[in-house]
């Protein structure tokens, strides 16, 4: 139950000087797995934190979710409901000045639609994202917003999630079966996720995270606007303000009991669910 609050400001000022050509290859690290739940999502526009405003003209491209029928290869785990096999939901946070995404990589099952919630710490001159060959040129996504990227990963392999025009990225690993995904996660030894806290829409993105028992979990948290006091039943105390806009807070714990646990906003009253399952 360690909590690390990371203030990026010193890093920002240092790295801001480096400019946009700065590209650092990030060593793949622990990983994480699909968290499939169906939800309707609205993209909110809320003012983002600091950063030098740079003008950019962008064409907003509508990207409809492909209408392929998902193949139900995702095996039901304890505590999962049926609809969870229909969409794989994941959140990702971009830290441009640290040339890093959180999580740095994740694994999804082939042919099951993915819905990715993306937010970021900084505004700069490139505000669009691509996942070649599945997805490109999403709408502009600014700090303080949640962008929704939807696609069907119909090829097996390792792909890059990148900010258009920059050299850093996160890895999207597409595998054929849940068993392969489990092997990947076990191999990494850590399950890594991101949670985006949005008081305006009164919800978490995603609202449910499924993790495996006995494998360490790291959850990267960020708020879009408000300050939050977030707890996770059994694993993470919420005794102080711990999730802030413009900063990342990490929750680290090793789930030791299967079940459904409440991720509670002590101040604002909304909640999400952490499901701990046995490795199938």
Residues that bind Cu ion (CB under 5 A): 228, 265, 268
Is the Cβ of residue 97 or residue 265 nearer to Cu ion in the bound state? Answer: 265
Q: At which residue do the structure tokens 């996160």 appear?
A: 170
Cβ distance to Cu ion smaller for residue 150 or 227 = 227
Taking the least distance from each CB to Cu ion, the nearer of 128 and 203 is 203
Which pair of tokens denotes residue 232? 């996770």
Nearer to Cu ion by Cβ, of 213 and 250: the residue is 250
CB of 253 to Cu ion, least distance (A): 20
- Nearest-approach distance from CB 118 to Cu ion, in angstroms: 20
Q: How far is CA 270 from CA 93, 147, 149, 228, 229, in A?
A: 21, 21, 24, 11, 11
CB of 197 to Cu ion, least distance (A): 6
Q: Answer for the pair 175, 74: CB distance below 8 angstroms, yes or no.
A: no
Work out how close the CB of 144 gets to Cu ion at its nearest, in angstroms, rounded to a whole number: 15
Q: Does residue 128 contact residue 178 with C-beta atoms inside 8 Å?
A: no
Shorter beta-carbon distance to Cu ion: residue 188 or 228: 228
In the bound state with Cu ion, the residue whose beta carbon lies nearer, of 136 and 229, is 229
The nearer residue to Cu ion, 10 or 269, going by C-beta atoms, is 269
- 115-137: burial string, b at 16+ Cβ within 10 Å, e else: bbbbbbbbbbebbbbbbeebbee
From the list 129, 114, 142, the residue with the least C-alpha distance to 168 is 129
Nearest-approach distance from CB 249 to Cu ion, in angstroms: 12
- 245: closest CA among 198, 192, 193, 194? 198
- The residue among 74, 67, 75 whose CA lies nearest residue 108 is 74
Residue 270 beta carbon to Cu ion: minimum distance, rounded to whole angstroms: 7
Cα–Cα distance between 175 and 109 in angstroms, integer?
5
Which residues, in sequence order, are CB contacts of 193 under 8 Å at separation 6+?
32, 35, 90, 91, 103, 209, 211, 217, 218, 219, 220
| C-alpha to C-alpha distance for 119 and 196, rounded to whole angstroms | 8
Rounded least distance, CB 275 to Cu ion, Å: 21
């Amino acid at each position: 139950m360690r909590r690390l609050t990371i203030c990026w400001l010193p890093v920002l000022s240092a790295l801001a000087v480096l400019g946009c050509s700065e590209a650092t290859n990030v060593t793949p690290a622990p990983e994480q797995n699909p968290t499939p739940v169906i939800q309707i999502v609205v993209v909110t526009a809320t003012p983002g934190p600091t950063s030098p405003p740079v003008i950019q003209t962008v064409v907003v491209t509508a990207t409809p979710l492909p209408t392929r029928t998902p193949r139900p290869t995702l095996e039901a785990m304890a505590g999962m409901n049926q609809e969870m096999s229909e969409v794989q939901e994941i959140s990702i946070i971009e830290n441009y000045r640290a040339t890093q995404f959180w999580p740095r990589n994740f694994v999804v099952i082939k042919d099951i639609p993915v819905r990715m919630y993306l937010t970021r710490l900084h505004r700069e001159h490139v505000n669009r994202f691509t996942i070649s060959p599945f997805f490109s040129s999403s709408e502009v996504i600014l700090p303080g917003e949640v962008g929704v990227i939807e696609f069907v990963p119909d090829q097996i392999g390792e792909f890059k999630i990148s900010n258009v025009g920059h050299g850093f990225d996160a890895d999207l690993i597409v595998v054929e079966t849940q068993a392969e995904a489990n092997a990947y996660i076990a191999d990494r030894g850590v399950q890594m996720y991101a949670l985006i806290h949005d008081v305006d829409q009164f919800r978490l993105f995603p609202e449910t995270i499924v993790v495996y028992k006995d494998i360490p979990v790291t959850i990267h948290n960020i708020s879009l606007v408000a300050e939050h006091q977030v707890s996770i039943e059994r694993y993470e105390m919420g005794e102080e303000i711990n999730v802030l806009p413009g900063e990342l807070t990490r929750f680290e714990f090793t789930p030791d009991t299967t079940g459904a646990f409440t991720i509670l906003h002590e101040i604002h009253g909304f909640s999400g669910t952490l499901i701990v399952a046995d490795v199938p």
